[in-house]
């Protein structure tokens, strides 16, 4: 039995969706454990292109069961819209897609509060997607939020009134418009009743289902959103998401015990990107950064915002590896580096005249850090679509070997293009046994 977590090693956008989509055939269930529709997973195969925001990437595989765990915040309308897009594309999720009855409901008032806060911060905005994710998690932690099971509660209007009693005064204090149907108890209750009917076929006790499947020897692939450096505890606080995007969140966010997890595959982009505000030591503000942005098509899946680009930061990468623990790595977007004559990798930070190789918690230290680079020759050859590791240019193989050494984990996958099939799978490498189920 191998139940495996897919974990982002950077600030998200590492290519987790593609890897989940690729290795799904080795598993029976895909379970998403945190986040909401603030993060998108882009999956391409053949001529098809899907941007999934809430529903796990495994839904594109016929027969694959997919779970949206209790650790998620789910906006009902966003879910229904995504469901309609899948159905229009010929993907039928009926009978194999489940939403935890314990998942937090992200409601329109959460969105209003998120947008009002970001507007009030002005130049000091955190850079949220303004989708209401933070306020929804806040309502969960403060115990006035609603869960999926509450949408059919007899006292729904009273619960909504309690939620609005907290949110409306904040909106007034922020100077936001509170004369909106989204902030009216009766109107909001009417929408919730409608959503409850539409969501009924999908809502279930997913913790019980997962436990039963694992007991029966079924294999679970845990899928998170964002990356380790956006984790609420371990990320670059306060420029983080509002949930646990590291491996620990997989147990908390699904209801399975930590002992059910057998391995971790970390996803690392061959360079580094970040969306929104926050420290980014290896960021490139020159033509090379623009080149990576253009060639890598670095636009946010959900927001469409350009991603900040920079050299691979292995100080941050090693920290993410320590927090998550790694069985193997997937290195994505290798082909984006094809045209560079020289490639640099950040291996240390110079802070107050001292070179450090640990990742500091202090944001002032991070903001002042200067990157210490190690330089590598570029391979300047086309690697798009390469399927065998031996066929990569020697300089590209050396780059991979250095990453393995620094991250202390074998690179099991090397992505050489956006399509599912454009991936090197190194079957001879340690870590492959996590995927051996006779189906990959």
Helices (H), 340-388: 363-368
Alpha-carbon torsion angle 389, 392, 398, 399, nearest 10: -100
* pLDDT value for 120: 87
Q: Is residue 41 annotated as a catalytic residue, yes or no?
A: yes
Please say whether the beta carbons of 401 and 366 come within 8 A. no
Write phi, then psi, for 199 (nearest 5 degrees). Answer: -85, -15
Residues of the chain with CATH 1.10.300.10: 104-199
- End-to-end, the C-alpha distance of the chain in Å comes to 15
Tokens (6 digits) for 188: 């909001």
Distance separating alpha carbons of residues 4 and 11, to the nearest angstrom: 20
Distance separating alpha carbons of residues 241 and 231, to the nearest angstrom: 6
* pLDDT value for 52: 82
Residues of the chain with CATH 3.90.170.10: 4-90+205-435
* pLDDT value for 42: 62
* pLDDT value for 125: 67
CATH classification code of 104-199: 1.10.300.10
* pLDDT value for 38: 76
- Counting every residue, how long is the chain? 440
Task: Say which of 41, 110, 112, 234 is annotated catalytic.
Answer: 41
pLDDT per residue rounded down to tens, the chain (440 residues): 589 999 999 999 999 988 998 999 999 999 999 999 976 666 654 566 667 889 998 898 989 999 999 999 999 999 999 999 999 888 989 999 999 999 999 999 999 999 999 888 877 666 677 889 999 999 999 999 999 999 999 999 999 999 999 999 999 999 998 999 999 999 999 999 999 999 999 999 999 999 999 999 999 999 998 999 999 999 999 999 999 999 999 999 999 999 999 999 999 999 999 998 899 999 999 999 999 999 999 986 656 678 999 999 999 999 999 999 999 999 999 999 999 999 999 999 999 999 999 999 999 999 999 999 999 999 999 999 999 999 999 999 999 999 999 999 999 999 999 888 999 999 888 778 888 765 66
* pLDDT value for 43: 65
The predicted model scores a pTM of 0.92
Q: Are strands 342-351 and 370-377 parallel, antiparallel or unpaired?
A: antiparallel
The answer for 389, left when phi > 0, alpha when psi is -120 to 50, beta otherwise, is: alpha
- Say which CATH architecture domain 4-90+205-435 belongs to: Alpha-Beta Complex (3.90)
Greatest CA separation for the chain:
66
* pLDDT value for 429: 82
HSE-up of residue 136 (Cα within 13 Å, Cβ side):
29
- The residue assigned the tokens 């002992």 is 259
Q: Is residue 81 annotated as a catalytic residue, yes or no?
A: no
């Amino acid at each position: 039995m191998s139940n495996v977590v897919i974990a982002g090693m950077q600030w998200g956008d590492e290519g987790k969706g593609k890897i989940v989509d690729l290795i799904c055939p080795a598993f029976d269930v895909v379970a998403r454990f945190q986040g909401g529709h603030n993060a998108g997973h882009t999956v391409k195969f053949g001529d098809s292109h899907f941007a999934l925001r809430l529903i796990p990437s495994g839904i594109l595989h016929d027969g694959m069961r997919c779970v949206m765990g209790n650790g998620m915040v789910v906006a009902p309308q966003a879910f229904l819209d995504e469901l309609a897009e899948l159905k229009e594309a010929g993907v039928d999720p009926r009978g194999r897609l489940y939403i935890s009855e314990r998942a937090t409901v992200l409601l329109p008032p959460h969105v209003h509060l998120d947008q009002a806060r970001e507007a009030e911060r002005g130049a000091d905005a955190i850079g949220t997607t303004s989708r209401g994710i933070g306020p929804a998690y806040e309502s969960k932690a403060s115990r006035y939020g609603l869960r999926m099971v509450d949408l059919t509660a007899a006292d729904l209007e009273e619960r909504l009134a309690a939620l609005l009693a907290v949110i409306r005064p904040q909106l007034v204090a922020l100077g936001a418009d509170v004369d909106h149907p989204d902030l009216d108890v009766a109107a909001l209750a009417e929408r919730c009743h409608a959503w409850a009917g539409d969501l009924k076929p999908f809502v279930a006790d997913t913790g019980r289902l997962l436990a039963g499947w694992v007991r029966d020897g079924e294999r679970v692939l845990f899928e998170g959103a964002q990356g380790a450096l956006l984790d609420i505890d371990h990320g670059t606080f306060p420029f983080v998401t509002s949930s646990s995007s590291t491996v620990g969140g997989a147990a908390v966010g699904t209801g399975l015990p930590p002992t059910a997890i057998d391995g971790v595959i970390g996803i690392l982009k061959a360079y580094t990107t970040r969306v929104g505000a926050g420290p980014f030591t290896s960021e490139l503000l020159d033509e090379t950064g623009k080149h990576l942005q253009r060639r890598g098509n670095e636009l946010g899946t959900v927001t469409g915002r350009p991603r900040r680009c920079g050299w691979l930061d292995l100080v941050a990468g090693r920290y993410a590896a320590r927090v998550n623990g790694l069985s193997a790595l997937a290195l994505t977007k290798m082909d984006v580096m094809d045209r560079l004559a020289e490639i640099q990798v950040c291996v240390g930070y110079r802070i107050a005249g001292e070179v450090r190789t640990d990742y500091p918690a202090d944001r002032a230290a991070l903001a002042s850090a200067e990157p210490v680079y190690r330089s590598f020759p570029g391979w300047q050859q086309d690697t798009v679509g390469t399927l065998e590791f031996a066929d990569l240019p020697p300089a590209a193989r050396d780059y991979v070997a250095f990453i393995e050494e620094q991250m202390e984990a074998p690179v099991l996958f090397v992505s050489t293009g956006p399509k599912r099939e454009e991936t090197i799978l190194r079957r001879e490498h340690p870590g492959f046994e996590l995927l051996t189920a006779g189906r990959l």
